[in-house]
Amino acid sequence: MTKRIVLIGGPSTGKTTLINALKAKGHICFDEVSREVTKAAQEKGIDQLFLTQPLLFSELLLERRIKQYKEASQLDQEFVFIDRGIPDVAAYMDFIGQDYPDNFKEACTSYKYDHIFILPPWRDIHITDQERYESFEEALKIQEELVKTYTHYGYTPIEVPKTDVEKRVAFILENLNICL
């Protein structure tokens, strides 16, 4: 049975770099879906869908993250790495103080991941761009919401140290062997 491994963390913590490094080592990885949702909205003239229509944005994310979850279970792999999980959607909604329907909470309890690794905020690598607009201070608050949300749903995220990407990959793989 495929184990779903989720990498979480606020903006600019190195998740995408880590996912790319895992891919380079031959692991199956699912990319973060929020950038594709944001880009699709921008092509329709909506600069920041999350800021203008947070519920719609989050519904689209939830739908795509559930799809990733289901796709992972269809693969004949020991591990599948996923950049952000279903509870991230609720955490971000809580971060902005937005109410959301019960199906968000139901998804968090229905679709369970096997291991959660959290990357801590890292000022030295924090950047903003067309899709990532959060300041470092906002990233810290998002991180708090992520920890609170994942803990609420029964997870104990393992913190990945701030170090070069190869050591981060090694840390995760070593911890997965310990967890088996």
* pLDDT tens digits, one per residue of 77-104: 999 999 999 999 999 999 999 999 999 9
pTM: 0.90
Q: How high does pLDDT run on average in the chain?
A: 89
Which segments of 78-159 does DSSP mark as H helices, in order? 86-96, 102-110, 136-152
* pLDDT beyond 80 at 114: yes
pLDDT value at position 172?
Answer: 97
* Contact between residue 15 and residue 84 where contact means Cβ atoms under 8 Å apart: yes
pLDDT value at position 123?
Answer: 76
Q: How many domains does the chain have?
A: 1
pLDDT value at position 3?
Answer: 95
For residue 84, what are the domain limits?
A: 3-179
DSSP string, 9-68: -STTSSHHHHHHHHHHTT-EEE--SHHHHHHHHHHTT-S-HHHH-HHHHHHHHHHHHHHH
The CATH number for 66's domain is 3.40.50.300
